[in-house]
Amino acid sequence: MTPVLLEGREGPEALEWEALAASAEASAGSGIPGRGRGSGAHGGKAENEEWIPITNLGHLVKDMKIKYLEISLFSLPIKESEIIDFFLGVSLKDEVSKIIPLRKQTHVGQRTRFKAFVAIGDYNGHVGLGIKCSKEVATAIRGAIILSKLSMVPVWRGYWGNKICKPHTFPCKVTGCCGSVLVHLIPAPERHWHCLSPCAQEAAAAGWGCTATLGNFTKATFDAISKTYSYLMPDLWKETVFTKSPYQEFTGSCKDPTQSLRAEDPGSGCGHLTRKIK
């Protein structure tokens, strides 16, 4: 069972909150697909379910006209989690970092919800973080897995000292912050330190602030990891060859998002999109 950390609560109240979160998570049972390190590629979706893309990027990916490298190279926004499953679905591993029970007092009584923090990665240079709040633990975890796929970023890996064997750490020092938490990641020699990230094998980490707040600590760590490509190292001091964006190269393959709506229901109110403005 995933450990539940309760912040700012002591005594019987903390035990009550912990029992509430444990019972809600136990009620979800094994019906939470995609939990733990050995999760499936689809993050809770049926494997026999056919993916029907709804965005231009999704159509290009399903037609095998674009590679994952081009998505990062041209900074194309990913709005469908199935795109990540298409490229990295087999190697993706997700883990629930924390579940927080939230309580709100309303005029009809108390409303309890649960907030889930899920980290996902392929241990090969890609990592994502998702946060979702819902009335049920299973729904919160499932939504956090989807958001973690949409927020996945590439991680630049490098060496400590000489370039021997494969890249094993970060190429430079990176810093991330969230709230009062400040996380500083430093490159480390091979087989010397262990990092909190699934994208680098060895790195030294230092934190300042209230690091006991695991939510802010996780966000700060992800912020630091996502900044690895923001530094222009000497290895990248090369002449850039500009090419066409996939949207420009495959203009004919991009479909009109309103075409399917007009085909299903001609009187759905989408006709104003095709009218000429006088």
96 and 73 within one domain: yes
Structural domain range at position 229 = 155-235
pLDDT score of 266: 52
Q: Residue 57: is its pLDDT beyond 80?
A: yes
Is pLDDT larger for residue 118 or for residue 169?
118
**Better pLDDT: 200 or 133:** 133
Q: Which residues pair with 106 in a beta bridge?
A: 109
With bands split at pLDDT 50, 70 and 90, how would you rate the model's confidence at 132?
very high
Same domain (yes/no): 109, 162: no
How many domains, the chain?
Answer: 2
Residues 148 and 165 reside in one and the same domain: no
Percent of the chain with pLDDT over 90: 16
95 and 131 housed in the same domain: yes
44: confidence class by pLDDT, cuts 50, 70, 90: very low
Residue 275 belongs to some domain of the structure:
no
Last residue of some domain: 235, 250, 271?
235
Find the CATH number of the domain harbouring 188: 3.30.230.10
Element (H, E) at 133: strand 126-134
Residues 149 and 159 in one domain: no
Residues 140 and 61 placed together within one structural domain of the fold: yes
Structure tokens at 271: 């006709």
**15 in a structural domain:** no
Question: Does the residue 139 lie in any domain?
Answer: yes
Q: What local confidence, expressed as pLDDT, does residue 274 receive?
A: 44
Q: With contact defined as beta carbons under 8 Å apart, do 160 and 203 qualify?
A: no
Q: What is the pLDDT of residue 114?
A: 94
CATH number, domain of 142, equals 3.30.160.20
CA distances from 82 to 58, 169, 221, 233 (A): 8, 29, 25, 33
Predicted pLDDT at 148: 92
Q: Give the confidence band of 191 by pLDDT, cuts at 50, 70, 90.
A: low
